[in-house]
Amino acid sequence: MTKKPRFLSENGVFYSMNIKILILLVFSCTYLGVVFIPRKKTEIVLIGACGMVLAKIFFFPHATPFLMHLLESCGEAMAAINWNVMGIFWGMLYLTGIFIYSRVPVLLADKLIEHARNVGMAILGVCIFSSLISAFVENVATVMIVAPIALAICKKFHLSPVPFLIGIAISSNLQGTATLIGDPPSMILAGAKQMSFNDFFVYHGQPGIFWAVQLGAIVSFLVLAYLFRSYRQPVDGIQAEEVLSWTPTLLIVAMIVCLALSPLLDNESKFLGGIICTVFGLWSIGWFHNRQGRRWKRTQVFWRQYADWETFLFLIGIFIVVEGLKDVGLIDDAAQWLVAAVGDNVFVTYSIVVWASVALSAVIDNVPYITAMIPLCQAVSANLGLPDELLVFGLLIGACLGGNITPVGAAANVVSVGILERNGYDIRFREFIQIGLPFTVAATFASYLFVWVVWR
pLDDT digits (tens, 9 = 90+) for 209-246: 999 999 999 999 999 999 988 888 887 656 666 889 99
User: What's the pLDDT at 266?
Assistant: 62
Lowest mean pLDDT among 41-50, 131-140, 178-187, 233-242: 233-242
| Cβ(355)–Cβ(398) below 8 Å | yes
pLDDT surpassing 80 at residue 54: yes
Q: How confident is the model at residue 437 (pLDDT cuts 50, 70, 90)?
A: very high
Q: Give me the mean pLDDT over the 435-451 stretch.
A: 94
Mean pLDDT, rounded, of the chain: 83
User: What's the pLDDT at 230?
Assistant: 87
Q: Give me the mean pLDDT over the 355-359 stretch.
A: 89
pLDDT digits (tens, 9 = 90+) for 61-113: 666 677 887 888 888 889 888 888 788 888 888 887 888 888 887 777 777 67
| Cβ(28)–Cβ(22) below 8 Å | no
Q: What residues does each domain of the chain span?
A: 13-80, 83-455
In this prediction the pTM is 0.73
pLDDT digits (tens, 9 = 90+) for 162-209: 998 999 999 988 887 888 887 788 888 888 888 888 899 999 999 999
Residue with more model confidence, 395 or 106: 395
Residue with more model confidence, 7 or 325: 325
Percent of the chain with pLDDT over 90: 23
Amino acid, res. 145: I
User: What's the pLDDT at 113?
Assistant: 72
Residue with more model confidence, 381 or 297: 381
pLDDT digits (tens, 9 = 90+) for 362-382: 766 677 788 888 988 998 898
